[in-house]
Amino acid sequence: MNKITLRQILIPLITIAFICFFWFGPFRITIENIIISILIIIANYIEYKEKAFSELGFQRKNFTFKNILVIAPLVALGLFIFYVFILVPGITKFTGTPIDYSAFDQLKGNLPAFLITLLLVWATAGFGEEIIFRGYFMRQFVKFFGESKISIALNIILITGFFGFMHSYQGITGQLVTWIVGALLAWIFYLRKYDLWFLISVHGFFNTIALSCIYFDLV
């Protein structure tokens, strides 16, 4: 592991402090994850200069039609099938409480609301959450603690646990399910050698399938 400088310690600490302010401070806005993502890119530029994007996982060589529009959607579909038929029923049986999807009730049969929400979800969840949780938090964890098996396991468990907590509006079942889905995404991110473009695409298509099911009142 390379020697970590004071600059590489202070910049992430300040950035995380700003992130916490946006998430837990007195002001809440719909596009907070977009603002946080921009803040992270700026922080990464200060820390890594010309490697700001590559350190997050934006690898130009992996931004291909096959990866983004063929393999990623198939992975998203497989993940969604696992989510619907195994994960959600299993966790629901464990907690005795169904996932609370009430925040999305207005999307059922409402095409304008569905399309607007779809765009917002791609921006705030597909791009925003992946930049924040995988591109920044996971990569910073690796910078400080390395890539041993124990480190990667703790990295995935802790960061995706917080990722699940941030979905508390879905109830305890939704939090646990999101934790597990987030852990699977994080594992894919690690196996793909930190290919953030791929994760954004998987996350975006997963949410697209989920919102489509809500729109057609299938869940």
> pLDDT per position in the chain (219 positions), as tens?
568 899 999 999 999 999 999 999 887 777 899 999 999 999 999 999 999 999 999 999 999 999 999 999 999 999 999 999 999 999 999 999 999 999 899 999 999 999 999 999 999 999 999 999 999 999 999 999 999 999 999 999 999 999 999 999 899 999 999 999 999 999 999 999 999 999 999 999 999 999 999 999 887
Where in the chain are the domains?
A: 56-215
Dist. CA 42–CA 151, nearest whole Å:
27
Dist. CA 36–CA 18, nearest whole Å:
8
Unique residue bearing structure tokens 């996982």? 57
Unique residue bearing structure tokens 């298509």? 205
Dist. CA 188–CA 133, nearest whole Å:
13
**pTM score of the predicted model:** 0.94
In total, the chain counts a number of residues equal to: 219
Give yes or no for a contact between 72 and 185, defined as CB atoms under 8 angstroms apart: no
Unique residue bearing structure tokens 């969604």? 80
